[in-house]
Structure 1
Amino acid sequence: RRMLEKNGACNIDYANVEKRGLRFFSDWFTTVLEVKWRYTFLVFFLSFCFTWVFFALIWWALYAGRKKDDMECIVGVHDFVTALLFSIETQHTIGYGTRSITDECPSGTFILMVQSTIGVMSQCIVTGIVFAKLARPTRRAATVIFSRNAVICEQDGSLSLIFRVGDMRRTQMMGATINAIFIQTRMTVDGDIISYSQKDLPITTLSEDCFFFFAWPIKVMHKITEDSPLWNISAEDLLVADFEIIVVLEAASETTGGGTQVRTSYLPNEIIWGHKLAPLFTKHKDRRSGGSFRIDFSQFDKTEPLETP
């Protein structure tokens, strides 16, 4: 069992939340953004249908087929169907030319103004929600990938936990930061059990820099020192250990400027002792450019045995 799935989804279910539906409804904008597309389209369709039918009933009840002192308020509306068509044409400014309102009824002019205002507002809301839903950070995060396995090997004279992260797009992620969290149930000196205790794992790249230039896939490393929660775990202990390492990458998209977050996790059975990550770079001969570097993503998840104490 894992707290975080490999694709970044939290494996957590909330139960017995008081007034949960009301709380979600109070933040309806975020709720609509988070639901699936089919439910979003259903909500939009029902909302438009409600306004169409609501104003069609008003037009039909007040003016359909009625004349007052030989003054006709609406031309071409004589039953509910024609009133519904007039309501749709009014709200969306279609205007086929067969139905129209006259200047004989001032109240009809006021209702026309109200429906036109509501129609513009509803279309603006729908447009904003669709755009916000399409531009969510999770869409940009779909092209950022982590290596399937992490490895433990000797690096610069000390054991290190190493995994790889890369972006398949040519546009770069700006200001990328990566954090790793070690999660394990532990017991305090007082005998209390803390479920899923969190501890930060200091990480760097192989260049030992905190700045990540994300133009190509990079290897992220955590040195296993005496302060590391992995210090007392051997290769044999790793087979029966119970912990989870959550990795969170945060960056801004060069294309949109919006922030995004990508997450994954590693369980003990996904950490390979005594292996290293396979190299990705090869020199590509190109007569026009004089040669360029090629990144072979088929090697992204592959590991190679390495003698490790």
Structure 2
Amino acid sequence: MCGFFQKRFQDWLTARRIRRSRLVTKDGRCNIEFGNVNYSNHFAFIADFWTTFVETRWRFVLLFFIAAFTLSWFIFGLLWYWIARNNEDLQWQNPSEDHTPCVDNVDGLTTSFLYSLETQTTIGYGGRAITPLCPGAVALIIIQSLIGAIINCFMCGIILSKISLPKKRAKTITFSDMAVICPKKGTLCLLIRVANMRKTLMIGSQIYGKLLRTTNTVDGEAIIMDQVNIDFTVDAGKDNLFFVCPLTLYHVIDRSSPFFEMAVDTLHKQEFELVVFLDGTAESTSSSCQVRTSFIPQEIMWGYNFLPIISRSKKGKYKVDFSNFSKVVPMATAHCAYCFHSLKGHHLHSRDGQDNLGFQTIDIPEQHPTDTKM
């Protein structure tokens, strides 16, 4: 029992270390922090206050929403109380029977607050109403109405902007948890699967990647987060993807690829992070969005291939089986890219090589005469 909990704790520590060490998390958030920023630069966030509020967390937006309205009601309530006090409308001032107040039924701090709330929210219960005898009260009700309209527009705009953020649409784009390396169309490729969970298309979709790693120059200088371009494509190209069904993206591992020097027994010993980007425009809202994810060496499986998930029914409809989205099968693959290009048919890698429990692997028969794939 103790060994079981110890293993679970070690696995949790390993997962936590991997999560903290990567630049881009699996859900696309950038794991980076800024230090020693000049204090004067913080005023730039105040100058760009709209973006600052839109990017603020929901809990702070709701807190600011409540505080903005409550404080405005209270501040104007104090002003109405001050006007009533100057006009001797309050109860403790003992106004005469023929006294005409600035605001009917405002004779204390509580009623002043209620009148401020009713004015700014245009409730109008009918119990409290302004009289035309006080010019200051007329001016104050105009000012409060204008400020209340501004607060309403600003807060509603922030909430609508946060709800319609493009990154919310990006949450319906999902990548495979792992990447695989296997032969494809006569060449060795790194494959990643991506799926659009909505039926609406992503217009003008483009896919590309960046390999982040630490390199050393000739002078011995270490370059942290050195970026190398990684080209991804599908059978129909790499730009303007027809993203109506799950796609398998592949990167050709040739002599110009940074993966060319890696092998099945050295891949998981490397230190790099493959960040994959998908840019597109949502068809329903015409808003541009970007989907990001990353893969570290432990999340790349050498010698496996994705299972097909698209088939055609007897009625002629295309069907996507998402139960196979995270399933792979072992595939004979050379131990390294050099072996694949120079020694074809040798050093094949089978299921006994590198394995990863993040994927569910299944065995499939060698012949499928009844399957129809797209």
1:210 Cα shift?
3.2
The AA in structure 1 aligned to 2:74 is V
RMSD value, Cα: 1.6
1:277 Cα shift?
0.9
- 3-state SS in 1 of match to 2:267: helix
Using structure 1 for the length normalisation, give the TM-score.
Answer: 0.94
The AA in structure 2 aligned to 1:300 is F
Match of 1:196 among 210, 225, 234: 225
**Relative CO higher for 1 or 2, CA cutoff 8 Å, sep ≥ 6?**
1
Gaps of 5+ in 2: 1-20, 90-94, 335-374
Give yes or no for the alignment of 1:229 onto 2:258. yes
Write the distance in 2 (CA, Å) between the matches of 1:75 and 1:174: 60
Is the CA contact 1:206–1:221 (under 8 Å) kept in the aligned structure 2?
A: no
Match of 1:148 among 177, 181, 187: 177
| Partner residue in 2 for 1:301 | 326
| Partner residue in 2 for 1:262 | 291
Gaps of 5+ in 1: none
Write the distance in 2 (CA, Å) between the matches of 1:209 and 1:75: 71
Match of 2:316 among 291, 294, 302: 291
**Deviation per CA, 1:51-82, whole angstroms, max 9, x where unpaired?**
11111111101225725994321101000000
Match of 1:15 among 17, 26, 35: 35
**Deviation per CA, 1:10-50, whole angstroms, max 9, x where unpaired?**
11122222226544333332222222222111111111111
Question: Aligned in 2, Cα 1:179/1:209: closer, same or farther, shift over 3 Å?
Answer: closer
Deviates more, 1:182-191 or 1:260-269: 182-191
Write the distance in 1 (CA, Å) between the matches of 2:257 and 2:37: 37
- 3-state SS in 1 of match to 2:255: coil
- Percent identical residues: 37
**Deviation per CA, 1:160-209, whole angstroms, max 9, x where unpaired?**
11101111111111110111001110112232211110010112113445
Write the distance in 1 (CA, Å) between the matches of 2:83 and 2:132: 15
Q: Which has the higher strand share?
A: 1
Give yes or no for the alignment of 1:25 onto 2:50. no
Write the distance in 2 (CA, Å) between the matches of 1:249 and 1:40: 29
- 3-state SS in 2 of match to 1:205: coil
Deviates more, 1:240-249 or 1:29-38: 29-38
Write the distance in 1 (CA, Å) between the matches of 2:185 and 2:35: 48
Using structure 2 for the length normalisation, give the TM-score.
Answer: 0.78
Deviant stretches of 4+, over 6 Å: none
Write the distance in 2 (CA, Å) between the matches of 1:38 and 1:98: 36
When the two structures are aligned, how many residues end up with a matched partner?
305
| Partner residue in 1 for 2:356 | none
Q: Map 1:154-165; keep pairs closer than 5 Å.
A: 154-165=183-194
- 3-state SS in 1 of match to 2:68: helix
Is the CA contact 2:207–2:238 (under 8 Å) kept in the aligned structure 1?
A: no
Write the distance in 1 (CA, Å) between the matches of 2:308 and 2:65: 50
Larger radius of gyration between Structure 1 and Structure 2:
2
| Partner residue in 2 for 1:34 | 55
Give yes or no for the alignment of 1:46 onto 2:67. yes
Q: Map 1:74-223; keep pairs closer than 5 Å.
A: 74-223=103-252
| Partner residue in 1 for 2:88 | 66
Write the distance in 1 (CA, Å) between the matches of 2:268 and 2:151: 57
- 3-state SS in 2 of match to 1:119: helix
